[in-house]
Amino acid sequence: MNDQQISDAVAQVLGGYGEAPAVSPEQPSVQTSAPAASSTTPACDPVSDLVASILADAGSAPARKDGPAFVPGSKRCCWQPAPSGPDPLDAILSKALESGIGAKKNGTVAPAMPAATASVTVSDEEATTLGDGVFATMDEAIAAAEQAQRRYLFCSMAARKAFVDGIREVFLDPATLERISVQTVEQTGMGNVAHKIIKNRLAAEKSPGVEDLTTDAASGDGGLTLVEYSPYGVIGAITPTTNPTETIICNSIGMLAAGNAAVFSPHPRAKNVSLLAVKLINRKLASLGAPANLVVTVQAPSIENTNAMMAHPRIRMLVATGGPGIVRTVMSTGKKAIGAGAGNPPVVVDETADIEKAAQDIVNGCSFDNNLPCIAEKEIIAVDQIADYLMACMQKCGAYLVTDRAVVDKLQALVINDKGGPQTSCVGKSAVHLLDKVGITAGDDIKVILIELPKAHPFVQEELMMPILPLVRAPSVDDAIDLAVELEHGNRHTAMMHSTNVRKLTKMAKLIQTTIFVKNGPSYAGIGVGGEGHATFTIAGPTGEGLTSARSFARKRRCVMVEALNVR
Ligand code: NAD
């Protein structure tokens, strides 16, 4: 084939596409014979016009003066002279650079991000005063949060990340960790300081941030479609007395990462320390140039204020972390709601388990923060064959075995209230404290009160949130699994199993349907203490989100560019 034949063949193929022969910038002389290379922008390019007009609307930068003579045309194999107007790439690039380095720009909030940020302080006296995110009324708090969220919409993702990292930094400071942990125990009368430090650190360190917000894209001849996680707006978050600061830290990180503002309604019994946490967050965010009042609360948390928050039209989403009552309430508001409710986590031990390790794990998990965590072991179901040996092993690692019926009755009178639930004054108390109340002096090595009981006993049926651990026998592992499913009460919360029988582990996982299922470990491995994976203090069984993270506080939105921006 000679050169002429090749040219003819190329022309013929291109003709099939409805195109003129290719014109390359290296061969400008050919341009004179190619319709696509006329001196004006071809009229056959509506996509370019569309992109240009969108970029013009967005205020793109002036064109480079030394631009290339030829640029790729919108049709296949075609080059065309560069337009003399604005170069869209300049505008896109400069916008990206601006948001990346956080320069200020008229009409937007793209705060500068200091390389090293100063630590913030809030004195105990200041903690409960107005200001720094603390408002006198719920209406004021919500109005301020709404304004903050509007400004926040124009912050870059880099700025969001810096704010979230700032929250982490505040609570990873050892003095702050200790301070909020000590204050929580003092104010609520629940839990123990050492474990609260672990929980608060976990929330600050392992709650997912902006990296949780992945983008889906679909591209093709029809153009480019993005599906992105977008904020709800202002979220109302109700927090429990059992994890007051942990939940504020974890929810603030997730909700702000997703672009929202958060209004907190803390448990009144954890008021001061909750206000302190909100203030610390606000001062840190202010030092980073964030819009003021992204995280707010009221000076006097109460049920009335929680009700006002739930009913407020500006609250777009409700997140309740607490008992069944408040979860039911948020679910009946008609708003988008996440309900993270009660659990009654069973732990099954079968005859194939490493019994000594199971005993240690169960004592450790059950006694973590005096059994306050909703994920903590609340009852053991042991296969009869190993039940006695398991109890003996548990006694060696901190369990006090109660066998005297009279002591069991005394304990029941002490810790169960008139309604059949846990007595608030006993929730989160240590085993030593509870034993002392029924006249038994125990050493500090005692972490758990172990009692063998029938399944109908209130200690087995109720979520006590104190280190009283009933053990129920089952004739076989299959019976134990069935009983565990029954005692979990359909909360879809947490369960544990100690076994080396993979089939039985799988069977239990499938039947119990809990959000967290820990195999051969303590319950706290399920929220990231010693186990892999992210941390959450809002485990949403009732509403189905399960382990919440930033993306749980965002809605999926689709952005469609028709017939453009696909680059394949
Ligand atoms: P709680 O239900 O008494 O209180 C939780 C929050 O709801 C508090 O802020 C409280 O003021 C508010 N509240 C309660 N009743 C209300 C009502 N009628 N009207 C308005 N507000 C109301 O729970 P708690 O004792 O603070 O926390 C322990 C409970 O929370 C346990 O059941 C535990 O399992 C659960 N919890 C669940 C998770 C989870 O992630 N699923 C995490 C922590 C705690």
**Mean pLDDT value of segment 365-388:** 98
Asked which of 3-12, 91-100, 387-396, 438-447 is least confident by mean pLDDT, the reply is 91-100
Separation CA 453–CA 434 (nearest Å): 18
Higher pLDDT, 250 or 65: 250
Q: By the 8 A CB rule, do 234 and 280 touch?
A: no
Residue 315 is predicted with a pLDDT of 98
Our answer on whether the CB atom of 494 is closer than 6 Å to any ligand 1 atom is no
Query: Does residue 408 carry a pLDDT above 60?
Result: yes
Name the H helices within 288-383. Answer: 303-311, 324-331, 355-367
Residue 44 is predicted with a pLDDT of 37
Residue 567 is predicted with a pLDDT of 82
Task: Give 5's pLDDT tier (boundaries 50, 70, 90).
Answer: low
pLDDT digits (tens, 9 = 90+) for 467-479: 999 999 999 999 9
Our answer on whether the CB atom of 222 is closer than 6 Å to any ligand 1 atom is no
pLDDT digits (tens, 9 = 90+) for 489-537: 999 999 999 999 999 999 999 999 999 999 999 999 999 998 899 999 9
**Pairing mode, if any, of strands 554-562 and 223-231?**
antiparallel
Task: Give 92's pLDDT tier (boundaries 50, 70, 90).
Answer: very low
- The residues, ordered by sequence, that sit 6+ positions from 96 with a Cβ below 8 Å of its Cβ are none
Q: How many residues in the chain?
A: 568
CB atoms within 10 A of CB 334: 6
Residue 19 is predicted with a pLDDT of 41
User: Ranked by mean pLDDT, which of 34-38, 107-111, 309-313 comes out on top?
Assistant: 309-313
Share of the chain above pLDDT 90, in %: 77
Asked which of 68-77, 351-360, 511-520 is least confident by mean pLDDT, the reply is 68-77
Q: By the 8 A CB rule, do 519 and 499 touch?
A: yes
Our answer on whether the CB atom of 321 is closer than 6 Å to any ligand 1 atom is yes
**Pairing mode, if any, of strands 295-298 and 261-265?**
parallel
pTM: 0.82
Our answer on whether the CB atom of 306 is closer than 6 Å to any ligand 1 atom is yes
- Alpha-carbon dihedral sign for residues 454, 455, 458, 462: positive
Residue 2 is predicted with a pLDDT of 54
Query: Does residue 215 carry a pLDDT above 80?
Result: yes
Which atom, in ligand 1's list, is nearest to the CA of 343?
A: 34
Give the DSSP letter string of 268-298. Answer: GGGHHHHHHHHHHHHHHHHHTTPPTTSEEEE
CA 300 to centroid of ligand 1, rounded, Å:
17
Among 250, 274, 315, 321, which residue has the most ligand 1 atoms within 8 Å of its CB, making it the best to mutate?
A: 321
**Mean pLDDT value of segment 200-228:** 96
Query: Does residue 307 carry a pLDDT above 70?
Result: yes
pLDDT digits (tens, 9 = 90+) for 242-292: 999 999 999 999 999 999 999 999 999 999 999 999 999 999 999 999 999
**Pairing mode, if any, of strands 494-498 and 346-349?**
parallel
Q: By the 8 A CB rule, do 368 and 191 touch?
A: no
CA 445 to centroid of ligand 1, rounded, Å:
31
CA 350 to centroid of ligand 1, rounded, Å:
33
Residue 312 is predicted with a pLDDT of 98
Residue 117 is predicted with a pLDDT of 57
Among 199, 267, 463, 464, which residue has the most ligand 1 atoms within 8 Å of its CB, making it the best to mutate?
A: 267
Residue 75 is predicted with a pLDDT of 41
Kind and range of the H or E run holding 472: strand 468-474
Task: Give 82's pLDDT tier (boundaries 50, 70, 90).
Answer: low
CA 241 to centroid of ligand 1, rounded, Å:
7
Query: Does residue 69 carry a pLDDT above 80?
Result: no
pLDDT digits (tens, 9 = 90+) for 126-161: 999 999 999 999 999 999 999 999 999 999 999 999
Strand partners, 23: none
